[in-house]
Amino acid sequence: MELSKEIQKKLEKYVNLLVNYPVNLTSYKDENDAYENLILDSLIPIFNDEGFLSSKIILDIGTGGGIPGLVWAICFPEKRFYLVESVKKKVVAIEAFIEDLNLKNVKVFNERAEDFARSYRECFDYATCKALARGDIALEYLTSPVKVQGLISLFKGPNFFRDEWKYVEKAQELLKVQKDYTIEYEIEKGQKKRYLVVFRKLEKTSKKYPREKGIPAKYPIGEEV
């Protein structure tokens, strides 16, 4: 990754703001740990993701304190980013970060994932979430806002294919998406492998998805009979 000094400074400032914000936004209290596990983990795979690099309008649902959406907005000022977060105090924090960092390419919405996804159907080139939900649940949140032939990415740990894939396979069938490619990466050499799993939307999403708020998590689509 080659980042300009200006972008590097903004990333460092963002980490400082995130870690020291008066409301708890991350479990990382050390700036170096936060930089490694939040910033680098958000950036390393997408610099190898041609689908992301060619996308212009990008959605991050369940962004929390801005991960990965705000990180990406700092590094890719030519793209537009839409961040969705249901917790108001986190949205207030993100809005403050956007102002402090003087970002012009990002907008944040204080909405439930299900409500946003029903209102913004087929609008985005690329959608993602990080540490939001199991794979099948996340796909239900992310699929309807993406354009047909658009991409959906999930950040997942080393046990994803062992623990979650059986649920994701079922969700793919119902949502009309298909795994397109997987980017395997590690933050430091020798660490456990991580995955950015990228799906392609094949058809328009049925209007039954996403289901009403709370239902995707309570009755996961990957467990439907």
Question: Both tokens of residue 209?
Answer: 């998805």
> What is the rounded distance in angstroms from the CA atom of residue 75 to the CA atom of residue 21?
22
- Which pLDDT does position 27 carry in this prediction? 86
Would you say residue 129 has pLDDT above 90?
yes
The 80-84 sheet, strands edge to edge: 106-109, 80-84, 57-61, 124-130, 146-156, 194-201, 177-185
CA dist 6 and 128 (Å) reads 25
What residue has token string 């298909």? Answer: 178
The pTM for the full model equals 0.95
Is 133 within 8 Å of 141 (Cβ atoms)?
A: yes
CATH number of the domain residue 140 falls in:
3.40.50.150
Position 225 scores a pLDDT of: 56
Which pLDDT band holds residue 25 (cuts at 50, 70, 90)?
confident
Q: What is the pLDDT of residues 47-71, one digit of tens each?
A: 999 999 999 999 999 999 999 999 9
Question: What H or E segment, with its residue span, contains residue 146?
Answer: strand 146-156
pLDDT at 11 over 60: yes
pLDDT top residue among 196 and 29: 196
Q: For residue 2, what pLDDT band results from cuts at 50, 70 and 90?
A: confident
Residue 200 pLDDT = 98
pLDDT mean over 181-201: 92
Euclidean distance between CA atoms 148 and 200, whole angstroms: 8
Of residues 28 and 204, which shows the higher confidence score? 204
Alpha-carbon span 165 to 172, nearest angstrom: 10
Average pLDDT of the chain to the nearest whole number: 95
Closest CA to 30 of 40, 38, 19: 19
177-188 mean pLDDT: 95
Sequence-ordered list of residues with C-beta below 8 angstroms from that of 8, at least 6 positions apart, any chain: none
Domain count for the chain, please give it: 1
In this predicted structure, the answer to whether residue 104 has a pLDDT above a threshold of 60 is: yes
Structural domain including 21 reads 5-223
Q: Are 201 and 148 in contact (CB under 8 A)?
A: yes
Going by pLDDT thresholds of 50, 70 and 90, the confidence category of residue 189 is confident
